[in-house]
């Protein structure tokens, strides 16, 4: 197994971080990556705040493992996404 300090920092098994790809990185992909030992990332760039909130809830309901949320700070409503 390949383990790095990043794995310990993020609480993951493998040093793999899935990119937050707009229109691709929804809860299904995020959950799958996290469940297999990497860090899944939800892509908030194409979502409205309520949709992102729902996607986060879906991931939390499917895994107890760590995951991330990508929020592009160039969006005028990025504060609402956070």
> Looking at residue 3, what is its pLDDT?
87
Read off the pLDDT of residues 19-34 as tens digits, 9 standing for 90 and up: 999 999 999 999 999 9
Residue 80 CA to residue 56 CA, distance in Å, equals: 14
Q: Where are the domains of the chain?
A: 5-81
Question: Is 0.75 topped by the overall pTM?
Answer: yes
Question: Which three-class secondary structure string do you get for the chain?
Answer: CCCCHHHHHHCCCCCCECCCCCCCCCHHHHHHHHHCCCEEEEEHHHCCHHHHHHHHHHHHHHCCCCEEEECCCCCCCHHHHC
């Amino acid at each position: 197994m390949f383990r790095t300090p990043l794995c310990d920092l993020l609480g993951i098994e493998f040093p793999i971080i899935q990119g937050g790809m707009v229109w691709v990185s929804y809860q299904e992909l995020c959950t799958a990556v996290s469940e297999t030992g990497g860090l899944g990332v939800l892509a908030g760039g194409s979502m409205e705040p309520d949709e992102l909130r729902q996607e986060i809830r879906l991931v939390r309901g499917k895994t107890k493992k760590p995951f991330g949320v990508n929020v592009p700070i160039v969006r005028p409503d990025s504060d609402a996404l956070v």
